[in-house]
Chain A
Amino acid sequence: MEIIDLSSIVSTTLGDIPENDLEIVLAREDARDTWVIQRIFTYKGTAYPEAVGTVVRQDAWVTIKNGQGASAEAGL
């Protein structure tokens, strides 16, 4: 029986794909009030030749570093 490591399977727009068939790129952007991490999966396998080189999944994590304030300072 073949043992499949489910932790290496990624849900994509093509369906569930072995992680080995995907190129994974992380991109981080740091702005004044937020920082963002994007994880981009590009297909590089052989089962779907027409999809090679295409992005099959993108995740994003947006962290709000600073919220919004309503100023109520004295002095007006």
Chain B
Amino acid sequence: MANSAGLCTSFKTELMLGGHQFGAITLISRTSLTAPTTDTFKMALYQTSATISPATAVYTTSGEVATAGGYSAGGATVTNATAPTSSGTTAYWTPSASVSWTGVSFTTDCALLYNSTQTVASFGRAVGSYTFSSQTVSGGNFTLTMPTNAAGTALIQIA
């Protein structure tokens, strides 16, 4: 069997587990240095006029749908019951439940996943932006259903 080049799959998974540190970063304490606690992740919704993108570094209230009814600024905590894992050469992670808001009225076309534990000047570090066709909800419910947690479909993938 010949040698081959590439990032190790275990490394890709460990990136999501916080297992490697190549440079300095200011973190909010995860309590233990050897068995750190899991961060909390949240999903916020944005109006169609907002400018959320992969260039977004931290959660922002700018352009977020208004706090009213069942929606509060900052969005909702995602359920994280399944640790990052891998299949083939792809590491991946997906929230383990849908995110729902009830009794809300807004128009949105974007959700921002961010780390609400690890913050910069109190704003959570951004993870990913997810867009969809503009959706208007009026006095109703909005549900964001997560993809299948697998290589090729998971919410976060390092291939």
Contact = CB atoms under 8 A, between A and B. Distances in A.
Contact of A71 (B92, B105, B144, B159): B159
Contact of B144 (A55, A62, A69): A62
A69 B133 contact: no
A58 B38 CA distance: 36
A7 interface: no
Interface in A30-47: 31, 33-34, 36, 38-39, 41
A67 B156 contact: yes
Contact of B137 (A11, A60, A75): A60
B159 A73 contact: yes
**Which of B132, B140, B147 lies at the interface centre, i.e. has the most chain A CB atoms within 10 A of its CB?**
B140
A58 B140 contact: yes
Contacts of A34: 132-133
Given A36-B132, A58-B140, A72-B12, A65 B103 contact: no
Interface residues of A, number: 32
B94 A58 contact: no
A70 B90 CA distance: 10
Interface in B116-148: 128-130, 132-133, 135-147
Contact of B157 (A13, A29, A59, A70): A70
Contacts of B138: 13, 55-58
A3 interface: no
B154 interface: yes
Interface string B147-159: 1000011111111
Nearest to A67: B155
A69 to B, nearest CB: 4
A8 interface: no
A61 B145 contact: yes
B6 interface: yes
Interface of B: 4-7, 12, 90, 92, 94, 103, 105, 128-130, 132-133, 135-147, 152-159
Interface pairs A-B: 6 shortest CB-CB: A67-B155, A59-B140, A74-B6, A69-B157, A63-B145, A13-B139
